[in-house]
Structure formats: structure tokens, C-alpha cells
A and B are shown apart, each in its own frame.
Chain A
Amino acid sequence: MRKIAAAGFAACLFAGPVLAADPGVTDTEIKIGDVNILTGPASFIGRAVSIGSKIAAAEINAAGGINGRKIVIATEDDGYVPSRSFQALKKLVESDGIFALSGTSGSANILAMLPLIEENKLPTVVTTTPNELVYTPVRPSVFTIGATYQDSFYAQVKYIHENVRQQNAVYGVIRQDDEFGAAVEGGYDKAVKEFKLKDGLRLRFKRGQTNFSAEVLQLRAAGVNALVNGGIIAGAANILSEARKLNMDLAVASVWSEDMPPSVKLSQPAGYPYILADYVALNDAATDTYVEKAKKYLSADEVGGINRYSYLSYVGLKVMAKAMEACGKELTRACTVSELRKIKNFDTSGLTAPISFDNEQQLSGRELKIYQLDPKAGTFKALVDFKRY
């Protein structure tokens, strides 16, 4: 009796779930997961991501789906908190039974989800947070689209050095004290060393800081006239506003989130024609076509929420769909991953550079386009087309 009880307990302890064929695929639909920031101050990012996935799914479904199967998006909110991202993905995998993952929230959030993604061999396309830690080391089922912040700031400092501040330039950087800020400073550092630039001052600040008067005074005291602004949205705008109060003559490099309408609205009054480098198109024929397409599937309110993150999640899901389509009727996660690896020069209609995952890091779309803000009109003009740095 004791042996039977022990065997029962051991079975209960060690037995794993009996897995059928890959979950999330039926004869009529494919369920794709989306973990996103739908609540809190950064929710406009998550909503834009969801809008992009929605457009892609609607477009694919309108064209007959993937080998006759419709795409269904299952979305979970994580509120931008990594431990919640883990629980949200756990629910999507274990309870909703998703086949693959498209929306992956913020940097720390995707990192918190990676162990679960690896364990379930979940085909995943990361578009919004191309953090180096996502693809180093390479996770077999994870594919990344996008340039690093490091590349973005290197490209901008290079542009400023070659075209804006050719003489008497003193460079400075102000950045957050987290992994994002470290990447910003990494790009700055690379450019400073490579072009032997005068490194005036490097400052760190805590995420959420709103008053930058002391920091900007330090920048002025150091004679900085070419600034790498590592603030995001309100933070970036406050830095520029303080600089304007001191009448500082600045060439400014910015984070790519500064191309979104809410960011522009906040930064515009300071009047700095800041530049930024992004791996997604901002305001050209590609985005116009996209918005026209979106109007077919979305409400006017949703169309108003479109920004760079919508373009990216759209591209991510389209790439994923291409790989799933190549698997035919016998759709499995292993096949999808294998087909994603074969993706080469996938045309995104100009939203990003063509996507190719046939490289060791399973990383693509690293080419950056440099833009400059017209502070009066609140629009951007392209300075340099998509280029790899």
C-alpha cells in the first residue's frame, strides 16, 4: 500500500502534461498571442501595437487566411510590469493555448518572458524592443526586427558630426540609469571614440524624473552644444524646455519614440529641430498607404492611435504569417520557426528595410532612416534613407 501511495505521489510530482499536436491551431483558425502595455502611462504604445496586429490579421483574413485558417489575436495586458508579462504569457500559453507570439511589450518584459518562450518553443517575432539581450545569445524560436538604440544614437551623432556641428562641437549625453540608457550611452560612446569627438559631459537620471534644471545647467557649464537626449516623451520634452530657458544653442539627437505625435506635441514649444534615427518609416508613401489600408478595418478612433509601433507589429505579424503559410496545412511551431529562418528580403512595402532572418542572430531590419523635426509644422523630413550603421 505504501509503495502504491509513493508511486502515486511520484507520478503526481513528475508527470508533465501530455502534449497533443501544437496548440493554437484548428482547422479554421490560428491563435496568436499578444502581451502588451494596455494600461498605465505607456498604454498608447501597447494600443498602437495591438492596432498594427489587428490590421495585419484583418488583411490576412480578408484574403482568405493562412491556408484557409483565420488568424485570431489573443491579447493580455501586462501594465508594463515584467512579472505580470510572465503571468500573462503563462495564461496565453497554458490557458488560451496560443500557437505563436507577436506582441512582446517592453524591454524588461520580453526578457522576463524569454524563459517561457524558449521552454514552449513559441515562434516569436520581436519588433518593438530590439534589445541586444533578446538575440544574444540566440534563442532558436525568437526572431527580432529592428536596430539597437546604440546604432540609432551612433548614426545620429555621426550625422551631427558630419553635417551639423563640424567645428567647435562639445558633445554631451543625458540618459536613464537603466538598460535602455546604457544602450543610448553605448552609441554615444562608440561615436565619440570613433570620430575623436570632444566628450563634454555624461549624465544619468532616474526613470520618471521630471525636473532637469540642474542637469541642463551642468550641460551648459560644460559647454555642450551637441546633445544626445536620452529622455523619453515628457522627459525629453522637459530637457529641451530647460535648455530653451537657458537659450542654449543645441544640435539634438533623440530617441525614436520622439517621432510620435504626443512626443512632438510636448517637445515642439522648445523649438529645437531635433533629429532622430528610426528603423521604421515615418511619413512617406509607405505610411500613407498603410493608413489608407487601416481605414478599411479600423474605427476613426483607432486610426488616430496609429504610430510607429503599429507599423512594426503589422510587419512582425505579416512576416510570421508568411512563414506559417509556407508550412502548408501541416502547421507546427517547429515548421514555422524553420520557415522564419528562411525568410529573405521580405518586402514590407517600405515600412522598414526588407526583412531577412537568414543570419546567425535571426535579426533583421537594422537599417535606420534619419529624420529631422520641423518644430513649427510638427512634421519630419527625411535626411538619410534606410542605411545600416
Chain B
Amino acid sequence: MRTGHFKESYGELVALTDSSVTRAWVGLLVVALLLLPLVAGNYGLSLATAAMITVVGAVGLNLLTGMTGLISVGQSGFLAIGAYTNALLLADYKWPLLASLPASGIVAGVLSLLVGVPSLRLKGLYLAITTLAFAFIVNHVILYAEGLTHGPNGVFLPNASLLGIDVSRDRPLYFLVLAVTILVVLAVLNIKRTRIGRAFLAIRDHDIAARVMGVDLVRYKLLAFVISSFLVGIAGALLSLQIRFVNVDVFGLILSIEALAVIILGGLGSTAGAILGAVFLSMLPELIRIAFSTFGSTQSVTYTTYVYEIRGIAYGVVIVVFLRFKPDGLIGLWRDVRRYWTNWPLAY
């Protein structure tokens, strides 16, 4: 019997969910995502792919900032490292995608130790500035290490294939990104319920208290950086597969800010929130486009012409509104709605 928060065994305590309704909804979502290519055109698939890549990156950042409380605004650097590693291994070293994809995450993860070490002594804004500096350094190295990175010219990716399937095409890429997204989400949900995840949460809530309780701060802070950067590196590699060209201009610092906006809007610390935030903000321009097009062609042209200014304003408004009225983010809103309907008609 389902008994709210009362658990009768350790198995129940660490299960992903004890709700058959949740399982059914998640199953339905996965089936819908699998069937999406049958109904969506290539542009729709491209948008969905971009949204899922954002999900991978956001879930990675959420593990570091939301779960462990270590603020990073250097994610564009790790994204660039992942994208460049994948691009260079595929284009210059002719590695198979099966090897270059995990290698992108590993290189980003290993290099994150460079930022992770200062994080042992720094917190809050000081750590944020350190990670920001790291992103600058990454851009600088990419531009100046021309022999390795092709410098400012960037790298064109060849048509990559996985198990004989050309993933430069929209559908196979969509399925690849979907598979990686599911794996990443499952991995992070599982990490959250292990000793490691609980240590992360303890560090976020009070690192000194966590240390007193036996949490090894050095180990777990570095681990948070490595896992988070690994995931962001994978997101970068997927992004490079989608665009098929990487250049420092692709990884502007605004990406780091947008990534923080995604997890704040979704609900800091919640994996489901990071997913919701990523999908919502990725689809926001399209939602606004649809809204404008319903008011006639003149408004539609206005939107097309000023899409990024309108998007920027919408980003700002949405974030301010959520911070003021719903600091728990989209996931908090979702919980409220769910609670309302669960208790209906006795909702309060």
C-alpha cells in the first residue's frame, strides 16, 4: 500500500518512485518521445534535440549548483571543452563516435579539477568568479593553441556514425540524444539517492556540519565538479554533433548565464526542475512565435525580426516573476498543482 512518506523497507526508501501513476506517466512520456519523429518535421526534431541537449547540460549544472551548492558560471568553458574534444577526435584523429563521445565528458571532467581545487577554499561569489575566469581561460587556450584546436578558424565535424548509422541526420541524432538524455537523467537521479548524493546535499546545506558528520569535503566537492563537468562535456559533444561546426563564438559566456537561469527557473536542486526549466526555456521562443503568429502576419514578422530581443525580455520577465512569486521554480508550481488535484475537492 502506498503510504505517503512512510517507508516499510530500505528498498522502498531508495526506489526511484513508489508510485505506479508516476511510472505510467514517465513510460508514456518515453513512448511519446520515441514516437515524436513520426509526427514532427525535421525542424521540430531539431528543436527537441536542442532542448534535450540543454537538459543534459542543465542536469549537470544542477548537480553542482543545485545539489552541492557550488555556484559555477564557467559552464560555457566545459561545454566548449566537450564540443572541441569531440570535434577534434572525430575530425583530426578519426576516432569513432563511440569513443569520442565519452572522451569528451572525461576530458571536461578531468579539467574540471583545475576549478574544483579552488572550490575547496572558495564559496559563493568568489567561486563564481573563479569559474568565470576558467571559462575565459578555456576560450583563450582554444584561440591560441592553433596547432591543436585550429585556433579561431574552428573545426568542421565530419559526418559521424554510430554502429553504422549516420548521426548527422536529424532522426538518428534525435534518438542518440534521447538515449543519452535518459541515461544521464537516470544516472543523476540514482546518484542523488546514494551516499554520494546525500553528501552533496549535506555540503550544500552546511559544509562545516557535513564535515563534522564525516563527509570528506575535498573528495565530494571535487567529485561534484568532475561529475557535473563530465555531463556538461557530453552536452557539448552532442551540441557539436548537431551544429557540425565548433568555434569559440559558439560558446559565449551568455550560455553560462542562461544555464543558471534554466536551473533557477526549473527549481534549484531538483533534477525534474532542471528538465522542466531546460525544456521551457528552450521552447520559449517557439511559444512566443506561436503567440505572435496568432495575432496576424505583421506581429509574426515583428517577432521574427526581433526574436532575440523579445526572447531576452521574455527570459528576464519570466525569471523575475518566478523569483518573486514562485521561488521553487517550475517544479514547485508542478508540486502545487499536483497537491491541489490529489486533495481535490478538499484542496486548500
Residues of A within 8 A of B (CB): 12-17, 38-40, 74-79, 81-84, 86-87, 90-91, 93-95, 108, 111-112, 114-116, 119, 133, 177-182
Contact = CB atoms under 8 A, between A and B. Distances in A.
Interface of B: 34-35, 37-38, 41-43, 46-47, 50, 143-144, 151-154, 156-157, 165, 168-169, 171-172, 175, 239, 242-245, 247-250, 252, 254, 304-309, 312
B38 to A, nearest CB: 6
B50 to A, nearest CB: 7
22 contacts: A12-B37, A12-B171, A13-B171, A14-B171, A17-B41, A38-B307, A82-B247, A86-B242, A87-B50, A90-B42, A93-B43, A94-B41, A95-B41, A108-B247, A111-B245, A111-B247, A114-B156, A178-B143, A179-B152, A180-B152, A181-B152, A182-B151
Main secondary structure of the interface of B (DSSP, over half): helix
A40 B249 CA distance: 15
A76 B307 contact: yes
- Among all A-B residue pairs, the 9 with the closest Cβ atoms: A94-B43, A179-B152, A79-B308, A115-B244, A178-B152, A108-B249, A39-B308, A94-B42, A95-B43
A39 B308 CA distance: 6
Given A91-B43, A94-B43, A94-B46, A82 B307 contact: no
A87 B46 contact: yes
A98 B34 CA distance: 29
B178 to A, nearest CB: 11
A178 B171 contact: no
Contacts of A13: 37, 165, 171-172, 175
A77 B245 contact: no
A115 B171 CA distance: 16
**Residue from B169, B243, B309, B312 with most neighbouring chain A CB atoms (10 Å):** B243
A275 B304 CA distance: 38
Given A133-B153, A182-B151, A86 B243 contact: yes
B330 to A, nearest CB: 23
Contact of A112 (B47, B169, B247): B247
Given A13-B172, A111-B245, A179-B154, A77 B304 contact: yes
Contacts of B250: 81-83, 108, 112
Contacts of A114: 156, 245
B308 A84 contact: yes
- Determine the main DSSP class of A at the interface with B: helix
A90 B247 contact: no
A281 B157 CA distance: 37
A78 B304 CA distance: 10
B282 to A, nearest CB: 10
Contacts, number: 113
Contact of A17 (B42, B154, B175, B252): B42
B154 A108 contact: yes
Contacts of A38: 305-308
B161 to A, nearest CB: 13
A16 B152 contact: no
A116 B169 CA distance: 10
Nearest to B47: A87
B308 A111 contact: no
Given A39-B308, A82-B247, A86-B243, A179 B171 contact: no
Contact of B249 (A15, A81, A91, A94): A81
B200 to A, nearest CB: 30
A79 to B, nearest CB: 4
Given A115-B156, A182-B152, A75 B304 contact: yes
Given A77-B304, A81-B249, A181-B152, 15 more contacts: A13-B172, A14-B172, A38-B307, A82-B247, A82-B249, A84-B308, A91-B43, A93-B43, A94-B41, A108-B247, A114-B156, A115-B156, A115-B157, A177-B143, A179-B152
A182 B35 CA distance: 47
B42 A12 contact: no
Nearest to A95: B43
Contacts of B42: 17, 90, 94
Nearest to A182: B152
A187 B261 CA distance: 43
A86 B244 CA distance: 9
Contacts of B307: 38-39, 76-77, 79
Most chain A Cβ neighbours within 10 Å, of B171, B172, B247, B248? B247
A372 to B, nearest CB: 30
In this complex, the member of B43, B144, B244, B249 whose beta carbon has the largest number of chain A beta carbons within 10 angstroms is B249
Contact of A16 (B157, B169, B245, B308): B169
Nearest to A179: B152
A17 to B, nearest CB: 6
Contacts of A115: 156-157, 168, 243-245
Contact of A77 (B47, B171, B306): B306
A208 to B, nearest CB: 10
A239 B320 CA distance: 39
Contacts of B306: 38-39, 77
Contacts of A181: 152
B309 to A, nearest CB: 4
Given A17-B41, A95-B41, A178-B143, A83 B239 contact: yes
Given A76-B304, A82-B250, A177-B152, A112 B309 contact: no
A217 B73 CA distance: 34
A9 to B, nearest CB: 8
A76 B157 CA distance: 25
B169 to A, nearest CB: 7
B308 A77 contact: yes
